[in-house]
Structure 1
């Protein structure tokens, strides 16, 4: 292999040591440790391989910071000028260590970030100097997954995917015209509805939107009026939205009637157990696919679909996850009604995807 050109050997190493994506299963600290061990093993093979590894900046572009360890100050010089993949996890600690120099070094390279994951849940007291978003524009950032409890502004002109999670966080986009996929909490007050309206105006290319549960931990039926926009808030129009994912396990909601989504084709509803049917407005003329995941009862699904016009039902494909609750359901009449009125499909979510769903920060939805 040493007879090959160094550029070819370098490309082989890059193929063997790919950058873990933001949605990679498992802790990024574990992934970083494994990757570092693999790089060290290859470097020990020969001086030639060691030289090639050190001369391949892309291999040093995956940089992590946590109370356990950080490779930032060692990796940054070796990464030269390539785009960076940053992972930061700061948990509450009585002895936070000297991580500030590493974080600040990364902040000054924010113009090179292309993916970024940050988790600082309840760690504000241990790291009062830390900001969830760098105090500079992240001009090359394409994907971000953020968990925290800060109010911050994010300026990312190339940002395509944003996953924000945290009941107390408030990430305000200040220029993200390329955003295609956004995961955020469901609006729970007038201010958050205004934020959603602003996003609909600033991100015309948005294709996929997932709204997780409310900002507050508990929302009772008596509080429903507080979760919808007031008369002074305009109706958000998401002209390019193709996919909408909702969580409905706590309360009945008419959120769809407060959104204008003329291009919507796929609606994914998770934990649909509400006794009040979900309302689908007539403006969703292109909706032809509804998927119910983590469902425990068939009756709420049947009651929701029974409110649809017959013409819309005929062109509708309905997918229901075949959970153990559904599989042993005695709602034979509801299932028979579904089979007669819609194109019904049963499916299983792979066990690996179910495990990923247990961690909203490090894994995809």
Structure 2
């Protein structure tokens, strides 16, 4: 193998050590340790391989910071001028260590960031100097997953995907015209509705939107209605939106009446347990696929679909969790009749998730995701 051209060997190493994606679940610290171990193992094979590894800056572009360890100060010089993949996880600690130098070194290279994951939930007391977003524009950032409890501004002209989580976080986008996919909390007050309206105006290319639980407060057991904007807040219009995912749990689903999405084709509804039928406005004329995951009631779904015009209903594909069909022989006649109604009025599909992709579901165990 040493007879191969160094650039070819370098490309082989890059294929063997790909950059872990932002969406990968699990501890990135474990991935970072394994990646570091693999790089060291390859370097020990020969001087030639060691030289090639040190001369391949992309192999040093995956940089992590956590209370357990950080490779920032070693990896940054070796990464030279290539784009960086940054992962920061700061958990509450009585002994936070000296991570400030590493974080600040990364902040000054924010213009090279291309992917960024930060998890700083409830860590402000241990790291009062830390900011969820660097105090500089992240001009090359394309994907970010942010978990925290800070109010920050994010300027990312090349940002394509943003996943934010945290009941008290407030990430204000200050220029993200290229945004295609956004995961955030459902608005819970006029200020957050105004933020959603602003996003609809600033991000005309947005294709996928996922609204999870409320942004500021957890849903209480007695809360059965959503929080809607006041009369002074405009109606967000997402002209290019193709996919909308809503996590409903115990609340009603009138939220869609406050969104204008004329190009919407796929609606994903997760964990809908409310007995109240939800509303799908006539403005969603392009909607032809609704997927229900981890839901436990058929009657509000049937009542909602019954309001569709017959022509739209005939062209609609409805996907239900496989739990609805399990043990059908033990169901009562009313339940079987509802299943027959779906089979007669829509193109019915059963959602089947492979075992290795299944995740625990917080709703009824009788109806898996």
Shorter chain as normaliser: what TM range? over 0.9
Aligned residue in 2 for 1:362: none
Q: 1:131/1:242 Cα in 2 relative to 1: closer, same or farther (>3 Å)?
A: same
Query: Using the alignment, how far apart are the partners of 1:221 and 1:306 within structure 2?
Result: 28
| Divergent runs of 4+, >4 A | 219-223
Secondary structure at 2:272's aligned position in 1?
coil
Structure 2 gaps of 5+ residues are 363-368
Say how many residue pairs are matched: 357
Instruction: Give, in angstroms, the shift of residue 355 of structure 1.
Output: 3.2
Aligned residue in 2 for 1:66: 66
- Structural mapping, 1:39-118, within 5 Å: 39-118=39-118
**Contact residue 220 and residue 251 of structure 1 kept, 8 A:** no
Please give the per-residue CA displacement for 1:210-261, whole angstroms capped at 9, x wherever unaligned: 0001121124666737x10111001000000000000111111201100000
* TM-score (normalizing by structure 2): 0.94
Higher relative contact order (CA 8 A, sep 6+): 1
Aligned residue in 2 for 1:217: 218
Aligned residue in 1 for 2:366: none
Instruction: Give, in angstroms, the shift of residue 306 of structure 1.
Output: 1.7
Select the residue among 338, 341, 360 that pairs with 1:337.
Answer: 341
Secondary structure at 1:179's aligned position in 2?
coil
Q: 1:222/1:65 Cα in 2 relative to 1: closer, same or farther (>3 Å)?
A: closer
Query: Using the alignment, how far apart are the partners of 1:352 and 1:223 within structure 2?
Result: 34
Secondary structure at 1:256's aligned position in 2?
helix
**Contact residue 208 and residue 244 of structure 2 kept, 8 A:** yes
**Contact residue 87 and residue 117 of structure 1 kept, 8 A:** yes
Secondary structure at 2:249's aligned position in 1?
coil
Aligned residue in 2 for 1:288: 288
Structure 1 gaps of 5+ residues are 359-364
CA RMSD after TM alignment:
1.6
**Contact residue 248 and residue 270 of structure 1 kept, 8 A:** yes
Please give the per-residue CA displacement for 1:55-88, whole angstroms capped at 9, x wherever unaligned: 0000000000000000000000000000000000
Q: 1:276/1:356 Cα in 2 relative to 1: closer, same or farther (>3 Å)?
A: closer
Query: Using the alignment, how far apart are the partners of 1:357 and 1:59 within structure 2?
Result: 37
**Contact residue 157 and residue 178 of structure 1 kept, 8 A:** yes
Secondary structure at 2:167's aligned position in 1?
coil
Secondary structure at 1:106's aligned position in 2?
helix
Residue 366 of structure 2 corresponds to residue 355 of structure 1: no
